[in-house]
Structures are given as structure tokens and as C-alpha cells.
Amino acid sequence: MVFSSIPFLYYFLPCTLLLYFAAPRRLKNAVLLLASVVFYAWGEPKFVVVMLLTILQGYVFGILTEKSGGRRAKVYLAVSAVISLGLLGYCKYADFFIRNFNAVTGLSLPLLKVTLPIGISFYTFQILSYVADVSRGNVRAQRSFIDLAAYVAMFPQLIAGPIVRYSDIAGQLSDREHSFAGSALGVRRFVLGLGKKVLIANTLGELAGLCRDSGDKSVLLFWLYGVSCTLQIYFDFSGYSDMAIGLGKIFGFDFPENFNYPYISKSITEFWRRWHMSLGSWFRDYVYIPLGGNRVKKPRWLCNLLIVWFLTGFWHGAEWNFIVWGLFFGVLLIVEKLVLAKVLDRTGILKYIYVMLAVTLSFVVFDAAGISEAWFCIRAMFGGGGFPAVSREGLYYLKSFGPLLITAVIGATPLVSLGIRRMRENGKAARVLNCMEPVVLLLLMLVITGYIVDGSFNPFLYFRF
């Protein structure tokens, strides 16, 4: 089940909200867990058991880690990590290693063809961070399996994040406030995120597909593909995060922000402080700092950075293009830290061009079916494929999708939110805005519903991770 579907919007969510708010406080987490299991089982029934067993081992080892302390606690943490990462590795990476082993040795070992459980990368990281935080003494181990399972399996953020750490919402699991104002904010955030996905990301995905499949290729068409792909990934994933955060507010939770207008960044370093922030902070706290961070000698520090970015790319997918994507950013970050940081401060608008060029090229690699396809697209973008500068289809798509691209570019900046904020600071404008907001959201939902009914199934891009 996906958020941008009729069954979720008009059957599952209303029933869940009715049961949740009718339940007494002591049963709300149980209702939330039950709804989350149904949500997950809707499309992945056989993998519900996998998820619940993974949560169970985290629950058991969390308690054992807290009770034992010392060296034994580290052993329990290691065993829990091996179980979690072993399951993730088997489901997600086994065939990758077999294919590459076959390529190197010339053998033909059969692939396992394991179906990847949706969301396993996200809930694995949540369980890892939970047990690690217990072992560090940062949080107390959760004694209620229902409460811990409700945290991990919570359907708003189960499938594609943000990666909510247990420490972020530990207090809210046992004691959280429900208010009309909070629910209203949650509904607004959810509807806007849904609009990002259905009206913008899906249409940008159509443009990217048209450009990719066109038989009238040109340099312009390849750039349209790169730009539309870059914008689609942002609106798709940030839209999901908005919906998750909005649903969390309705249920009384405050999930961490995951995006902060990354496309206005002045450096790649800043970009990764604004893009998928929950993932970046997770790797910082549970990989980079334990490796020594920047408190070691320079060669080891550079090695630590490359390890983190190799893992960041590999986490996204079991293909070489994801690894190259991660290492590409790792190298750029190293170059910035060693050479470019001071130069970028003096380059004016060029630093924004540099960031967006690097990001666009990176997402061409990210979206490609493999390294060869990514290299083919990038060469063609710079005139290396022997294609003409423009083509009839390229001009047609630029004209047809131009308004959407302009809207997406503006929407990827804080201009709209700043304008609304200034209106709220003006008493008269704020009153008009407060009156109009429910009407606008309702109309937006009607338009979104029409698009969903008329369109085809279009899952979130991050579901495959």
C-alpha cells in the first residue's frame, strides 16, 4: 500500500484514525502497531514475519545489553548487528556479490533471486541505532515489545523514512499530546507532500521516461532527462517525508525533518547537510565517529570519509552505479575540505552552478540501469555521443513541460514558504490565509484524487531501498 493510492487515502487511513482516536491512551500504540502490520501486509504479507522477528531480536538484545553492561553488552550489540545486517545483506546484496564473483572467476553460480522486503533498509537502521544507543547508555531499553514494535513498524515512516531514531521519540511513545492544532498542521503537511508526489514528481517522471525512451535524441533531450530526473527524485522523496512527518503529527509524534531545500546549497558539504538529513546524521553518529571521524591522522580521516560514502551509496542499492554515486560525493567532499572550501566562498553564483551541475550528474548515475548507461548519458549531455544539439522532440518536450519545470524549480526553493510566512506576519493577510487554507487544501485533494484515479500505479522511488 502506498500513500498516493485510493485504498490508503479513503479506506485505510480513515479507519485507522477512527480506531486510534477511539482507543484509550494505553491501547493507542497497540492500535498503531496493528494498523502498521496491516499496512505492510497489504503488499508484503510474507515479509511481515521477517520484520517482526527483526524487531524481536532488537527488543531482546536491547534488554540483554542494558542488563549486562561492559564487555558482554558489546557482545550482545555485535550479535544483534550481525543478525540485522546479515538479514539485510542476504535479502539485498547476495545476488550482487554472486554476480560479481561469477564475473571475476568465470563461474556460473546460480543467483538466489531473493525478493527484497520493502523498507528493510530503513527499519534495519532503526533497530541498529536503538540497540547501539542502549549499549551507549543514551536511552533505556524498552520493556514493552508493543511500544518498540510500534516505533519501528510505524506505517508513516516504515517504508521510506525518515530514519527516526528511538531517542527522538522515546518519550512520545509513552506520553504524547494530541491536539486539533497539531492534527491540522499534520493534515496540511500531508496534503502538500501528497501534491508534491502526485502532481509534480509523477509528471516529472513521465518527462524523464519520455526523454529516456525517445528515438529522436539530442543534447537538449539528455539535459531535459537529467534535470527532470533530479527534480523528480527531490519531489518524490521530500514529498514522502512531508507525508510521513504530517501523519506523525496527526498521531502526536514529532519526526525529524529530512530535507531543507538542498538545491539552494552553496557547496556539496552544505547539500548533504540539507539532503536526506536523517541518513546523513545516522552515518555520522554510527559509522563516521566510531571510525575516528576527523580526530585521526589525515590519511585515516580521508579513508573514513570514503568508507562512509561507499556505504552511503551501497545502502541505496546493490549495483555499481550506486557505489559510484556515493564515492562521487565522497571525493567531492574531500576536495572541498582540502582545496575548494575557501574558493567557493568567493565565486558568487558559480558555486550554485557547480553544486547543481554535480548533483544533476550524480542523479543521472543514480537513475541509470548501470555504469555503462550512466556514462552514455553523461557523455551525450556534453556532446560526446554524436547527437545534434537540439531535436524536434527535445523542443516539443521543453515547450510542453516548461511550465512544470519552472514550477518545480521554484518549489525546490524557499520562495513560496517565505512568501506564506510573510503573509502570516501580516494581520489582515493572515486572516485571509487562515480562511482560504482549508478550501485550498480541499481543492488540492480533489485534484490529487482525480490524478490518482486517472493515472497508473507509481510507487515512491525510495521503496526499492
State yes or no: is 316 an active-site residue: yes
Residue 398 burial (CB count, 10 A)? 16
What is the dihedral sign for C-alpha 10, 12, 17, 23? Answer: positive
Let me know: does 448 contact 195? Beta carbons within 8 Å. yes
Taking the C-alpha atoms of residue 280 and residue 316, their distance in angstroms, rounded to an integer, is 13
Please tell me whether the peptide bond between 156 and the residue prior to it is cis, using omega within 30 degrees of 0: no
CA angle 309, 119, 135 (to 5 degrees): 65
From residue 86, alpha-carbon distances to 60, 75, 78, 161, 361 in Å are: 17, 16, 11, 21, 33
Catalytic residue among 196, 249, 316, 351: 316
- Relative orientation angle of helices 219-250 and 180-195, to the nearest 10 degrees: 160
Q: How many CA atoms lie within 13 A of 181 on its CB side?
A: 1
Let me know: does 380 contact 219? Beta carbons within 8 Å. yes
Encoded amino acid at 371, one letter: I
Q: Which residue has the cell 565517529?
A: 289
Taking the C-alpha atoms of residue 409 and residue 206, their distance in angstroms, rounded to an integer, is 17
Taking the C-alpha atoms of residue 413 and residue 408, their distance in angstroms, rounded to an integer, is 9
Taking the C-alpha atoms of residue 240 and residue 293, their distance in angstroms, rounded to an integer, is 31
Note the helical H segments in 154-284: 155-158, 166-174, 180-195, 202-213, 219-250, 268-274, 277-283
CB < 8 Å & 24+ apart, contacts of 71-79: 73/135, 74/135, 76/131, 76/135, 77/131, 77/132, 77/135
Length of the chain (residues): 465
From residue 269, alpha-carbon distances to 182, 281, 285, 336 in Å are: 33, 13, 17, 8
What is Dmax (Cα atoms) for the chain? 74
Cell numbers found for residue 309: 560514502
Q: Which residues are catalytic?
A: 316
